[in-house]
Structure 1
């Protein structure tokens, strides 16, 4: 398969593009031919992106303005990657109301607004390919992650929102698929920050790696490859699902 053509010309918006998975996703989708708009709170500097812009995902109006800019510069939106996220390493007893609200705002409300904006932009599309929205959830929304109480709650909610959006689009006859991807422990700055807040960073990362069936952490590139598959026509039968990409951690 010629991966340089699999996503040829498809206009894509990636949020949270400054993070490890975000950067890898921008690079992978662009390598497969997509025209990628990369966004974060401040416009990221990513050479693979066709467009960079600032987007505060917690503001519905900012979503509308960002998608309008993408469509004005690159063309009708084909793909949205809901990748912005924030992890606060606190358990259920120690999480403050402010921390809970901030986690929900970025990890749940933000992508919820993204689902709304993406559907509005793509529901009347006449392109030969489905529109696709992939939301980055987490295994923390599938199984208990005691030190990530607010994060897990938000990601579980995101899985529910994604399933609802997918079925809504199917029943309304919209040519849009919605999928949640749930990575496990991935070598990113976010994971290092979580590990550091719980103890010695390297020791904690090593402990997490040893808990993996394959003995290592995942990489941003592996997650990006899964995203590239999900937004391609190879995955046209997949919608309303929460797919796990965790190296077998949950299966153990």
Structure 2
């Protein structure tokens, strides 16, 4: 216990799925949590569950593609907890489509959340972490995907956004290291993880049971992952245990990309 004791951590998309697992785990390990999302009711419920268990957490409504909202949530986080030590850029969407059928509107919407949101989160995280007194090591964790490492014939826009997150993370990691800012920046690349979003997608596209079997078969380890499989990786990168890790890709995919 206490792996991120007293660190202030902001997690976007923290209401459900992977984000919920991250905030619950970091709270259990001593972090003060800022949950942001556009899903207000589950976000508020998670924050209440953390505080009821003796932790510290707040929920803030937040569209990650809006810079003014980034300025607002970071200011509120710092006002409430005095500093910002960890930012996890987790919020994202996925849209599958044949390239010739992809609309520019859908492309831009996906990029605004998956890539612009990471850019804005990283930008304002650096500004806040540079202002920390006393100065301690900050950590920015950007959620990419296995789809940022390998291609998928029906996920061109998603591939592009997650590939962008991967290489942008490396660039910013070098900038922070070269300027001795004390801020580490890393990306996490999940394989298929069993979340409500994945289950609902399968339900709408042929059936949950058969879809689950097909997804399990894609991973050499024999099954899809669980949200805490990713949350533990994020916890490591958020903690000082990873003080020598920056610009890295943490792939958590059951062997998917090893094939």
Matched, 1:221 2:228: yes
Indicate the SS of the match to 2:173: helix
* RMSD, aligned CA: 1.5
Of the three residues 14, 17, 20, the one matched with 1:20 is 17
Indicate the SS of the match to 1:230: helix
1:129/1:233 contact within 8 Å kept: no
Aligned positions, number: 249
Task: State the 1:214 CA deviation.
Answer: 1.3
What's the TM-score, normalizing by structure 2?
0.92
State the distance in 2 between where 1:159 and 1:148 align: 16
State the distance in 1 between where 2:131 and 2:245 align: 20
Deviations 1:163-200 (A, max 9, x none): 11111111112110000101000001232344455533
1:29/1:228 contact within 8 Å kept: yes
CA distance 1:196–1:95, change in 2 (3 Å): farther
Of the three residues 30, 33, 49, the one matched with 1:33 is 30
State the distance in 1 between where 2:110 and 2:141 align: 19
After TM superposition, list the pairs within 5 Å mapping 1:120-135 onto structure 2. Answer: 120-127=127-134, 129-135=136-142
After TM superposition, list the pairs within 5 Å mapping 1:87-166 onto structure 2. Answer: 87-127=94-134, 129-166=136-173
Task: State the 1:127 CA deviation.
Answer: 4.0
State the distance in 1 between where 2:196 and 2:160 align: 21
What's the TM-score, normalizing by structure 1?
0.94
State the distance in 1 between where 2:19 and 2:103 align: 28
Task: State the 1:152 CA deviation.
Answer: 1.1
Which blocks of at least 5 consecutive residues in structure 2 are unaligned? 51-55
Deviations 1:195-247 (A, max 9, x none): 45553333222111012111110000110011001111111111111221101
Task: State the 1:42 CA deviation.
Answer: 4.0
Indicate the SS of the match to 1:12: strand
Of the three residues 140, 165, 188, the one matched with 1:181 is 188
Task: State the 1:124 CA deviation.
Answer: 3.7
2:233/2:250 contact within 8 Å kept: no
2:53 corresponds to? none
State the distance in 1 between where 2:4 and 2:174 align: 24
Task: State the 1:134 CA deviation.
Answer: 0.2
Which blocks of at least 5 consecutive residues in structure 1 are unaligned? none
Indicate the SS of the match to 2:34: strand
Deviations 1:73-93 (A, max 9, x none): 112000001010001121323
